[in-house]
């Protein structure tokens, strides 16, 4: 695990670190969406070993029970934008839960959060994701069906975590590095759907090998590269200051993702 998944996560962290993200911290537009949402979102706490983990949960407006999507945040932490993604997932009919992997830590700026996330012990992250998955699958409103998604650093973790949780029904990896070890690919129990920006060479360089490994293992990996988009296009495409290419990629990715969510 250390030599394979850890390697791909370091590569994703490097890609995220080199991406200029001026709107990663100032996200008033994301707060506005959350404040105007008709859906119920709340902070919850539960144990991860000896640690107390905080997570943000949003429920869809439906009478029937719903599947759960575990949301792994970017290297910038559990920002208002990530919470807004949870709200959008709930709008599309699923329960979304995003653990704050920096629970108990606070930072004055996004750079401090980025450095802290880069330094998180791998086994702690795995334990936190497992604790979140276990908590989520016991929610009274869920069918018990579980999927995972992640963005940037979290996108690499989503792909890697797919090899660690046999209960997953789907994985959605957004511009995160892909698995690079046959043993990890062989353990993945579910389809993996990739969402990538065309102008993201460092992350995209991992796609071809993953395609080969997943095919050899008899697993489904469906990567889509969005023309003209860069790393972080889901967030930038939602920002008022986002580029036209990222906005189109974000809209197209959400249309694809929504259709996939209906299959859970």
Note the pLDDT tens digit of each residue in 31-80.
998 999 999 999 999 999 999 999 999 999 999 999 999 999 999 999 99
Q: pLDDT above 70 covers what percent of the chain?
A: 90
Per CATH, domain 5-261 is 3.40.50.1820: yes
Give one DSSP letter per residue of 65-131, joined into a string: -EEEEEEEPBTTBS-HHHHHHHHHHHHTT-EEEEE-TTTT---SSHHHHHHHHHT--HHHHHHHHHH
Note the pLDDT tens digit of each residue in 87-132.
999 999 999 999 999 998 887 777 888 999 999 999 999 999 999 9
pTM, 2 dp? 0.92
Rounded to an integer, the average pLDDT of 9-26 is: 47
């Amino acid at each position: 695990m250390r030599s394979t998944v850890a390697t791909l996560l370091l590569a994703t962290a490097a890609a995220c670190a080199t991406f200029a993200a001026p709107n990663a911290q100032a996200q008033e537009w994301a707060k506005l969406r959350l404040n105007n949402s008709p859906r119920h979102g709340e902070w919850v706490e539960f144990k991860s070993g000896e640690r107390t983990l905080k997570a943000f949960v949003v429920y869809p407006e439906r009478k029937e029970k719903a599947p759960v999507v575990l949301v792994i945040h970017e290297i910038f932490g559990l920002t208002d934008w990530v919470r807004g993604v949870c709200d959008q997932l709930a709008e599309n009919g699923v329960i979304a839960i995003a653990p704050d992997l920096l629970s108990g830590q606070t930072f004055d700026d996004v750079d401090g959060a980025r450095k802290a996330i880069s330094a998180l012990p791998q086994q702690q992250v795995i334990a936190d994701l497992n604790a979140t998955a276990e908590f989520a699958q016991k929610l009274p409103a869920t069918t018990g069906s579980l999927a995972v998604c992640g963005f940037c650093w979290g996108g690499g973790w989503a792909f890697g975590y797919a090899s660690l949780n046999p209960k997953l029904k789907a994985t959605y990896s957004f511009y995160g590095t892909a698995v690079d070890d046959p043993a990890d690919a062989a353990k993945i129990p579910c389809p993996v759907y990739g969402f990538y920006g065309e102008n993201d060479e460092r992350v995209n360089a991992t796609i071809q090998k993953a395609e080969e490994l997943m095919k050899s293992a008899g697993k489904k990996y469906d990567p889509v590269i969005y023309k003209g988009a860069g790393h972080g296009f889901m967030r930038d495409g939602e920002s008022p200051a986002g580029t036209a290419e990222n906005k189109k990629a974000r809209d197209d990715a959400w249309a694809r993702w929504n259709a996939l969510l209906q299959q859970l």
